[in-house]
Amino acid sequence: MALRTPLTRAVRRATSTATATPALSASSAQWRRGNATVAPVTQSTGPKKGTAMVFMNMGGPSTTDEVGSFLSMLFADADLIPLGRLQNYIGPLIARRRTPKIQKQYAEIGGGSPIRKWSEHQAAEMCKLLDQTSPETAPHKPYVAFRYANPLTEDTYKQLLADGFGGGNGGRAVAFTQYPQYSCSTTGSSLNELWKWRTRLEGKRGSGEVEPKGAINWSVIDRWPAHSGLVEAFAELIEQKLATYPAERRDNVILLFSAHSLPMSVVNRGDTYPAEVAATVYAVMQRLGMKYKYRLVWQSQVGPQPWLGAQTSDTVKNLMKKGQTDMLLIPIAFTSDHIETLYELDKEVIGEDAEGHEGVKRVDSLNGSPTFIKALADLAAAHLKSGEACSPQMILRCPGCTSERCLAQKEFFARQSGQDKEEAAAA
Ligand code: FES
């Protein structure tokens, strides 16, 4: 209770009004020093138990049979697709209507999404590197927790308990978002889900004010849009693809950085995603010496509501009409291939909108890039050493947020540092 009261006041102060923003954003160093909400996490896990590294992402159906349940969970998620009070009625209807069409799309890309394969590979390879670079927190154990597909967050949490983390045994886990740019629709939704299952499986129901002894101590890597290793991995893949154009055409290729769009209702609520995606794009362009014309464009809009544009598809069609036929599509907000790259970009945008023109190409996704996997390991090692529970930015809610779930989730993750200190002091 003693921990919760000042924390609650601090988080509410930090998140309830837009007027709080300038004071908090003035200096993250000052924020860290001057505010207890993101105090360092004490390293309580020894070499025996190690550290669970949990990769969070949306996931995708591994087979066409899983498409129905995937879509039904996706459209039920008000954090991702806000449908108002009728969400539980409209969501399943939309999911059912879209299932046959989306099943066909998955059939065309090989019968399922490769996101699980890549996520498991990236997590496992990262942990091998981390065991060398961060021996004090080793062994590092890789887990994947998806929001809408297997392995679901609930199942992964149960696996953590079965493996001896939490449930009275204590231990440390890092929730590592695989969305480099934070959105309340993506990382926020995954954290809400993680907090929900943590409360159900380990915590007290209701307010959760008193932390149970021996629960998992969580910290979060919540955003990394301009991490130098991520930027380098993107830049390498772009340079590889640019090298496939004849030298005399290369300087005139337009780079189209394509990210998943957001409903304007989410953007206008103050979501940080558009600014963070732009930060990635700008950092990659700086690494490329600002040598090319480029645009940030947005894909995957669904439904009749206004979404953030310009749309990738419209942009390619318009440039083609103007005679610009050398364009390089760069998936800038995904860390591996999934339907948005393999179907939407490759088959719809390049195959249909650009009519398969040889000058319109896509940069390979990060997938198994060794540079990318090293970046993940560097990022994770720095996080483990820093002892931060989460970034200062994660504590600040969107100016237009009215969700009590967001508030409770943020309070929980920020409180993790205090919980761990209390346990260490009692030990
Ligand atoms: Fe962004 Fe709640 S919607 S913090």
**Residue corresponding to tokens 């066909």:** 104
pLDDT over 50 (residue 2) = no
Contact 349, 312 (CB under 8 A): yes
Give 173: exposed, middle or buried? Use CB within 10 Å, 0-12, 13-18, 19+.
buried
State yes or no: pLDDT of 41 exceeds 60: no
Structure tokens at 201: 């499986």
Give tens-digit pLDDT for 42-90: 444 444 579 999 999 999 999 999 999 999 999 888 888 877 878 888 8
Cis peptide before 180 (omega within 30 of 0): no
User: Do 185 and 234 share a domain, yes or no?
Assistant: no
Domain of 331, in residue numbers: 228-362
List Cα–Cα distances, 78 to 192, 193, 205, 320, 422, in angstroms.
11, 12, 22, 37, 35
* Phi, psi of 75, rounded to the nearest 5 degrees: -80, -10
- The ligand 1 atom at the shortest distance from the C-alpha of residue 406 is 2
Q: Which residues pair with 54 in a beta bridge?
A: 143, 175
Q: pLDDT grade, residue 354 (50/70/90)? A: confident
Residue nearest to atom 1 of ligand 1 (CA): 398
Same domain assignment for residues 352 and 292: yes
Residues with a catalytic annotation lie at 227, 378
Structure-token pair, residue 156: 């992964």
Same domain, 357 and 242: yes
The one-character DSSP state at 411 is H
235 and 351 assigned to the same domain = yes
* 228 C-alpha to ligand 1 centroid (Å): 27
Cβ atoms within 10 Å of 10's Cβ, excluding its own: 17
Residue 31 lies inside a defined structural domain of this protein: no
Ligand 1 atom 3 nearest Cα: 401
Annotate 96-144 with DSSP letters as a single string. HHHHHHHHHHHHHTTSS-SHHHHHHHHHHHHHHHHHHH-GGGPSEEEEE
CA distance 100 to 77: 20
Q: Is residue 278 domain-shared with residue 149, that is, in the same domain?
A: no
CA 398 to ligand 1 center in whole angstroms: 5
12 occurs within a structural domain: no
Question: pLDDT tens digits, residue range 120-166?
Answer: 999 999 999 999 999 999 999 999 999 999 999 999 999 999 999 99
CB atoms within 10 A of CB 264: 13
More confident residue, 26 or 219: 219
pLDDT at 305: 85
Q: Are residues 239 and 326 in the same domain?
A: yes
Tell whether omega for the bond before 310 is within 30 degrees of 0, i.e. cis. Answer: yes
DSSP character at residue 152: B
- Kindly give the distance from the C-alpha atom of residue 188 to the centroid of ligand 1, in angstroms, as a whole number: 7
Q: How many CA atoms lie within 13 A of 237 on its CB side?
A: 27
Q: Which of 28-37, 239-248, 297-306 has the lowest mean pLDDT?
A: 28-37
Q: Which of 90-94, 157-161, 265-269 has the lowest mean pLDDT?
A: 90-94
Residue 179 CA to ligand 1 centre (angstroms) = 16
Domain count along the chain: 2
Ligand 1, atom nearest to 79 Cα: 3
Q: Which of 331, 362, 393 is the last residue of a domain?
A: 362
Confidence of residue 36 (pLDDT cuts 50, 70, 90): very low
Do 320 and 414 have their domain in common? no
Q: Are residues 63 and 210 in the same domain?
A: yes
Same domain, 405 and 352: no
CB 387 within 8 A of CB 418: no
Pocket of ligand 1 (CB under 6 A): 184, 188, 269, 397-398, 401, 403, 406
User: Domain with 103 in it: what CATH number?
Assistant: 3.40.50.1400
Contact 229, 372 (CB under 8 A): yes
pLDDT at 421 over 60: no
User: For residue 26, what are the contacts with CB-CB under 8 A and spacing of at least 6?
Assistant: none
Of all atoms in ligand 1, which is nearest to the CA of residue 402?
A: 2
Whether residue 415 is contained in a domain is answered as yes
Give yes or no: residues 111 and 216 share one domain.
yes
> Which residue puts its alpha carbon closest to atom 4 of ligand 1?
397
